[in-house]
Amino acid sequence: MTPLFPVQASNFAPEVDHLLFYLLAVSVCFTVVIFAAIFFFAIRYRRKAPGEVPHAVHTGIALEIAWMVIPFGLTMVMFGWGASIFFKESRPPDNAMNIYVVGKQWMWKIQHAEGQREINELHVPVGRPIRLTMTSEDVIHSFFVPAFRTKEDVVPGRYSTTWWTPTKVGKYHLFCAEYCGTKHSGMTGWIYVMEPGDYQAWLNGGRSFGSLAENGEKLFQDLACGNCHKMDGSGRCPTLVGLFGRPVQLATGQTVTADEGYIRESILQPDAKVVAGYQPLMPTFQGLVTEEGVLQLVEYIKSLTPKPGSGTTTTPAEINSETH
């Protein structure tokens, strides 16, 4: 049986579908009215006598204005409604579960915070908001799950984010939606939405690579980052404890928020945003660490929350936002 409508399996799916129904209703109304008018006029005013020249009908300004203003009003609803969904899609909730995605020609590489890694498959528990932080090793890809009605490009050189809460247990298509080369149509996979219990079992059953933060810590030591970035702030470079999510004062006078993108940039292009009061001493790690490795480092730095009374100044609110 050929399906004619996709399954709804995320929090966004019903919202997008309701908007679709509104648009369909408006479109069908207009189509019917226009088609009916054309058919009616074409028959009623068909040429009956040769050589007839009908009288010109004068333009009705009121009519013209009406058929500009009314459709415009209807479209503004489309805009507002669509924008509100989009706004929601752009703001993952704080309690979302973090999963990291790296796209490359032609596969999806996925890392869970607990350390599980998957290729072209993603297992998630039902009912929990999932936040994906994504990047690409080569060209632009796009992470598309039709059943969730979401899609976001995966762009080399930067992080992109998407989120959703799966609402229905099942197995759903994952497609790459941005043309990425020869085997673009082979860059597909499956999303497995599981009952929380099953998901826990899956987590426990897989081979353990150690958690993502642990891997990041190991990498941090292998690359000798700690020689300069000392935990107590005594090194030549700023401490990374409690850094994530905090505003950072730069040498240029600007302030940026230390999000995933900032940390990635600072590892790969350390000169781009130098912290105020520090020298641009750090070498670039471009080519020395993979995108997956960078994501592990990011997760490790995220996990560096200050211990109470350790001396680094962080407000309790910031600590709270760090707890997963």
Residues 182-221 that bind another protein (CB under 8 A): 182-186, 188
The yes or no reply on residue 121 touching another protein (CB under 8 A) is no
Number of residues counted as binding another protein (CB under 8 A): 104
Helices (H), 90-173: none
CA distance 175 to 267: 30
Give residues 288-307 in contact with another protein (rule: CB under 8 A).
Answer: none
Is residue 85 near another protein by the rule CB under 8 A? yes
CA distance 244 to 213: 14
Torsion of Cα atoms, 131 then 106 then 175 then 134, to 10°:
20
Sign of the CA dihedral with 94 first, then 99, 103, and 106 last: negative
Can residue 248 be called a binding residue for another protein (CB under 8 A)? no
Closest CA to 132 of 164, 155, 108: 164
Applying CB under 8 A, which of residues 11, 111, 116, 150 lies at the interface with another protein?
Answer: 150
Q: Name which position in 62, 121, 126, 176 contacts another protein (CB under 8 A).
A: 176
Is 266 near another protein (CB under 8 A)? Answer: no
In whole angstroms, give the CA distance from residue 70 to residue 66.
6
Nearer to another protein by Cβ, of 94 and 232: the residue is 94
Binders of another protein among 153-172, rule CB under 8 A?
153, 155-161
Interacting residue with another protein among 200, 204, 284, 315 (CB under 8 A): 284
DSSP state letter for 11: S
Contact 270, 283 (CB under 8 A): yes
Q: How far is the CB of 207 from another protein (least distance, A)?
A: 29
Closest CA to 297 of 210, 226, 220, 211: 220
Which residues neighbour 293 within 8 Å (Cβ) at sequence distance 6 or greater?
Answer: 219
Spatial separation of the C-alpha atoms in residues 272 and 266, rounded to whole Å: 7
Contact criterion met (CB below 8 Å) for 70 and 106:
no
Query: Which one of 95, 121, 128, 179 is in contact with another protein (CB under 8 A)?
Result: 179
- Which residues face 231 on adjacent strands? none
Which of 114, 129, 151, 248 lies at the binding interface for another protein (CB under 8 A)? Answer: 151
Min separation Cβ 304 and another protein, Å: 19
Of 48-67, binders to another protein (CB under 8 A) are 48, 50-57, 59, 63-64, 67
CB of 127 to another protein, least distance (A): 21
Tokens 């528990």, located at residue: 125
What's the min distance (Å) between Cβ of 110 and another protein? 17
Residue 126 makes contact with another protein by CB under 8 A: no
Determine, following the binding rule CB under 8 A, whether residue 320 of this chain makes contact with another protein.
Answer: no
Query: What is the closest distance, in whole angstroms, from the C-beta atom of residue 173 to another protein in the complex?
Result: 6
